[in-house]
Amino acid sequence: MNALLIVDVQNDFIPGGALPVPLGDVIIPLINSLQRTFDLIVATQDWHPVQHKSFASSHAGKKPFDIITLHGQEQVLWPDHCVQGSTGAAFHSALSMNKVEAIFRKGMDLEIDSYSGFYDNGHKKSTGLAGYLREHKVQRIFICGLAADYCVFYTAKDALQENFETYIIEDATRAINVADFENAKSTILAEGGQLIESKFLHRHL
């Protein structure tokens, strides 16, 4: 079984949102088109409580994109984003959700950030995504969404650690920082993952 995993295509990550990914909106039509190819589609959703510790506003004297140590983990401080129940946390209205079978929320623990759709950044809590995919006999995961150098990258890393055959659909993701994504791609390839373009997807299904 193959699964399409759509990562965090939410209003706050789209241009005009609180933490916009450059050109994050241009991939939405492609993601909608990709869904026709898959029988199983799941999505992740950043879902932070108010005053989440990854927000710069939760730390006196800090500003967005400062880096601190939080519970032993390096933590980038972000603008407030994807706050539970907010318009910014909602999936973008142009994203087709009709075929999405399950949504896995992350970042709900006030004290620790969660880039990956599988675990928080400290690998202390599982979202249940790996078990869900195994129950559906998934062997190959194809990942798209936002942002390539953070949540897509960490989701792919954890997918590989969970022994799924893992692909990032490169033209169906966009990065906050393109140089960081180049480094991320090297890591994914070194750990056994693959990067593909959507036009070659049929070769892997």
Query: What are the residue numbers of the active site?
Result: 8, 106, 151
- Whether the CB-CB separation of 117 and 164 falls below 8 Å is answered with no
The token duo for 197 is 């373009």
In angstroms, rounded to a whole number, what is the distance separating the alpha carbons of residues 42 and 99? 8
In angstroms, rounded to a whole number, what is the distance separating the alpha carbons of residues 7 and 158? 13
- Whether the CB-CB separation of 40 and 4 falls below 8 Å is answered with yes
Helix (H) or strand (E) holding 181: helix 178-190
Q: DSSP letter string over 147-172?
A: -IIIIIHHHHHHHHHTT-EEEEEEEE
Q: In the beta sheet, which residues pair with residue 143?
A: 5, 168
Give the helix ranges, DSSP H, for 21-139: 28-34, 129-135
Residues 6 or more apart in contact with residue 11 via CB below 8 angstroms: 17, 87, 88, 89, 90, 91, 92
